[in-house]
Amino acid sequence: MLMRTDPFRGLDRLAQQVFTGPGTWSRHAAMPMDAYRVGDEYVVALDLPGVSAETIELDVERNVLTVKAERRPTAVADGVETQVAERPLGAFSRQLFLGDTLDTEHIQAGYDAGVLTLRIPVLEKAKPRRISVTATEDKREARKIDA
């Protein structure tokens, strides 16, 4: 299972927007995500519009998955004067704390239309399994009846 452990992340994002403003290169921008389970795997979809696939880095260490990406400014011709720059630029980073039941060795990643999709399988030992029950005869009860 995926675990969220940072209850103040939203407050940090708001403070960054207020103090640094949009379009600032050094600002770490938000990386919104959806996470859900489909069968025996978790799917995580992270929005990274305008990010080149070559700038995306994924690392797993001790059940912590770190996603880093970078959106670089678009090249403009000489003499062009920017009127509005609201799209965030710079480094994007997010960490996901993965439970012990997930197989971090077999994570699959795909990037399409500005969405990074991660597929994280559940470990075989963590999958639900059926346990058969066999009936046993209580020998003490059988002796009492015979006596």
Report how far residue 109's alpha carbon sits from residue 102's, in angstroms, rounded to the nearest whole number: 15
Q: Are 68 and 33 in contact (CB under 8 A)?
A: no
Domain count, the chain: 1
Spatial separation of the C-alpha atoms in residues 108 and 42, rounded to whole Å: 11
- Is the CA virtual torsion 59, 1, 40, 34 positive or negative? negative
Q: How confident is the model at residue 66 (pLDDT cuts 50, 70, 90)?
A: very high
Q: What is the pLDDT of residue 8?
A: 58
Residues whose CB is less than 8 angstroms from the CB of residue 67 and which lie 6 or more positions away in sequence, other chains included: 31, 46, 56, 57, 58, 92, 93, 94, 95, 96, 116
Domain, as residue range, for 55: 2-146
CATH code assigned at 138: 2.60.40.790
**Backbone φ, ψ for residue 134 (5° rounding):** -110, 140
Do residues 46 and 35 touch, judged by C-beta distance below 8 A? Answer: no
Tens-place pLDDT, residues 90-130: 888 999 999 888 999 999 999 999 999 999 999 877 677 78
**Buried b / exposed e across 71-85, counting CB within 10 Å, b at 16+?**
beeeeeeeeeeeeee
**Nearest-CA neighbor of 3 among 32, 46, 56, 44?**
44
Could you give the strand order of the β-sheet that contains 64-71, starting from the edge strand earlier in sequence?
Answer: 2-3, 90-98, 64-71, 57-61
Q: Is the pLDDT of residue 3 over 60?
A: no
Mean pLDDT over the full length of the chain: 80
Q: What is the pTM of this model?
A: 0.67
Which of helix, strand or coil describes residue 71?
strand
